[in-house]
Chains A and B, each alone.
Chain A
């Protein structure tokens, strides 16, 4: 597609349930990032994929969070046993070169009730 696609756009889940968020990056982009934006906060780095290299997971806030990227394209961010503090907008971005700015998706707004 022409841009970075994220689904779902909105997700409401009960505390304790698992959720999966999906990101389709721009075709050919080797770098893929997950960020989240909580209310009143800046964008918080979560995880970074670059080609076939091992992902940089240093931003994941707890072991309830995991992400994978299949075939160097689509990525899934999984949050297990969701907590209310996980409520945020989760943004995915991809980049061709990883050296410059990159293209964001429109995000998934996650609400844990």
Chain B
């Protein structure tokens, strides 16, 4: 039972354009959401987070949007850079557990 879903396994974007990574969830009790970035042969690294009481959080080129009514989370990267090419996981917290999506592989084309 996948409570956090990333329906796009891959995404390709031209350098300089916007990358939009999407995530849907089913549990309305999730109170905290995170995005992780993962390079091959490495563990995921924390990227950005948002509390359920907010609808937007921005950090440099990265912005996370939360639409609670739609149970939808998105990560915007603008402008995209080749170094952003990685797998991106969204995660949601309920209690002391985090639930992860299956990841979206982003390729930024120079």
B99: chain A residues within 8 A (beta carbon): 42, 45
A104: chain B residues within 8 A (beta carbon): 36, 43-45
Q: Is the CB of A43 within 8 A of B89?
A: yes
Interface residue? A34 (CB, 8 A): no
Q: Is the CB of A42 within 8 A of B89?
A: yes
Interface residue? B59 (CB, 8 A): no
Q: Is the interface of B mostly helix, strand, loop or mixed?
A: strand
Q: Is the CB of B46 within 8 A of A91?
A: no
A107: chain B residues within 8 A (beta carbon): 43
Report the count of interface residues on B (CB-CB < 8 A): 23
- Name which residue of chain A comes closest to B102, CB basis: A42
Interface set, chain A 49-65, CB cutoff 8 A to B: 50, 56, 58-59
Q: Which of A41, A56, A103 contacts B97 (CB 8 A)?
A: A56
Interface set, chain A 1-60, CB cutoff 8 A to B: 4, 33, 35, 40-43, 45, 48, 50, 56, 58-59
B45: chain A residues within 8 A (beta carbon): 103-104
Q: Which of B43, B46, B100, B101 contacts A4 (CB 8 A)?
A: B43
Q: Is the CB of B44 within 8 A of A40?
A: no
Q: Is the CB of B49 within 8 A of A100?
A: yes
- Complexed CA–CA distance, A50 and B42 (Å): 24
Interface residue? A101 (CB, 8 A): yes
A77: chain B residues within 8 A (beta carbon): none
B42: chain A residues within 8 A (beta carbon): 106
A58: chain B residues within 8 A (beta carbon): 97
A56: chain B residues within 8 A (beta carbon): 96-97
A102: chain B residues within 8 A (beta carbon): 46
* A residues at B contact (CB < 8 Å): 4, 33, 35, 40-43, 45, 48, 50, 56, 58-59, 91, 93, 98-107
- 22 inter-chain pairs at a CB distance below 8 angstroms, sorted by A residue, are A4-B43, A40-B102, A42-B101, A42-B103, A43-B44, A43-B89, A43-B100, A45-B98, A48-B97, A56-B96, A59-B97, A98-B96, A100-B34, A100-B46, A100-B49, A101-B34, A101-B91, A104-B36, A104-B43, A105-B43, A106-B41, A107-B43
